[in-house]
């Protein structure tokens, strides 16, 4: 049973390197404006989502949409790391984020 989770666990641990570090958070907290936050996120692992969000949104809405999009993409990616029953269990575990994303879209 553990082998069913070993591959997915390794992939998730590898994804951890894409998370913002303490220095990045400090920069975001010290940003003078939302535009500066967008610029900082655009230079990070969130670049793709920021660029996509900037097509339709500006300001805080751009940041919110980029982060929402990143969470949705990441959850979808994590689900592909598992097969069979482990995939079902992971989908149940991550299902609360599907509800969150749906509520966000409906707003």
Distance CA 47, CA 81 (A): 23
Is residue 91 a contact partner of residue 79, using CB atoms and an 8 Å limit?
yes
**Residue 104: is its pLDDT beyond 60?**
yes
Taking each helix axis as running N to C, give the angle between helix 84-106 and helix 2-15, from 0 to 180 degrees, rounded to the nearest 10. Answer: 40
Is residue 22 a contact partner of residue 31, using CB atoms and an 8 Å limit?
no
Residue pLDDT, tens place only, 29-84: 999 999 999 999 999 999 999 999 999 999 999 999 999 899 889 988 999 999 99
- pLDDT band for position 25 (50/70/90)? very high
Distance CA 106, CA 95 (A): 17
The model's pTM is 0.80
């Amino acid at each position: 049973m553990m082998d069913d989770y070993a591959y997915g666990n390794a992939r998730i641990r590898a994804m951890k390197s894409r998370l913002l570090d303490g220095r990045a958070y400090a920069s975001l907290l010290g940003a003078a404006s939302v535009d500066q936050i967008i610029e900082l996120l655009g230079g990070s692992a969130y670049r793709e989502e920021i660029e996509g969000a900037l097509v339709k949104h500006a300001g805080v809405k751009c940041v919110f949409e980029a982060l929402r999009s990143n969470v949705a993409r990441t959850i979808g990616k994590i689900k592909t790391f598992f097969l069979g029953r482990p995939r079902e269990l992971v989908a149940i575990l991550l299902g609360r984020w599907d509800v969150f994303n749906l509520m966000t879209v409906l707003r």
